[in-house]
Structure 1
Amino acid sequence: QVDARLSFQTDEQGKVNLVPHLIRKYPNLNEEYNGYKFTDEDKENLRTTGNLGKVVDLVDKSTGEVIPSYVSIDRYTHEMYHFPASTLEINDTIGKTKLSNQEIEFLKTGMAIPNKEIIGKNGKTYHATLQVSAERRGVEFVPKQRTQKTTQKNENKQEQKAGDGEKTEKRSTWITKDGGIKRLKQWNKIPLTEQQQND
């Protein structure tokens, strides 16, 4: 049984492929990443928010070109992601909330806007931290961080059966009863071809 995140990626021929991203150990932040050495503050930012929080110069391994980029970690698979700052596009409206030019320029630096009041399309108001994510290639709502103690407490609650305290195994919705991977017939309500299902 292997846990993974699935994504659709388009190759050079324009063919769409279903790509698995296996969960891996947390990346070694003491090693250089495309020519950039993480500071202690960088490591803390990546561990707590998933985002580096600034634009840094990365070296393209194939061309040697130095490219100002955003860097993030997939919070689920722990893969490292980066993308050029020059390709970032930020919508000036989130839900029904319009961002000011100053806020947009601030987000482009990679830093976060905490506790931003957002009015959703349904009219409800909530507060969120906004920041550029290299993994999502745009602005995201940074999830609220939980302490390790709180996380462990919640996991223990999920493992306990109500009433008798017995532990039960959490089963993934992607896995069949016999341990196989369920066949994916559609993605976001888009039917998959037989070949894509096989992939």
Structure 2
Amino acid sequence: MSVSPRLVLATHNKGKLRELRELLRGQVPGLDVDTQVVDASAVGAPDVVEDEVTFQGNALLKARAVTAATGLIAIADDSGLSVDVLGGAPGIFSARWSGRHGDDEANIDLLLAQLGDVKDEHRGASFVCAAALATPGGYFAVELGHLAGTLLRERRGNGGFGYDPIVQPDGYDVSVAELTSEQKNAISHRGRAFRGLLPQIVRALTEDQSR
């Protein structure tokens, strides 16, 4: 007998789905995270235009759209890099800072050029993630997670993605791209946002199961 999905993560990123499943494993009695926690492609959820002006707004927009389309509890996230001397930019435009969406190398090149003359003591930056939950009944919640650090002057490391090679987390002497996956998950902005949202996710799934 097939098992119906109960929670959809508004992404096609298998890494994000894996992280969410591990976060929820054992948290909700009777929840089979490997079959009932799925990504957008598994339920035909629509892609959503992210036209809000904050991380929180974009995450909630996606979560609400997906729960409306599927009738399932939905989770979404939006994240990016906030640079102090740029007033928080690239921010919500992080993935397309160079003008081409998802071109990590071009985005990094442009950012490094823009900050070329900025002294080390003024190169503070933070990764920011907003994680949002929406239910078919209209309940919603949003949590923020941050990873503070300093912008390096050149790339270091081959792990991670996005701006990871040029951000050194506070308290570390390596870039995010040089961390192990376990180290990154423990301190990442996304991990912190999803862990902050965990009580609301568990509550929504428990209440849904009791109906």
Q: TM-score, normalised by structure 2?
A: 0.23
Bigger strand fraction = 1
Bigger helix fraction = 2
Name the structure, 1 or 2, with higher relative contact order (CA <8 Å, separation 6+): 2
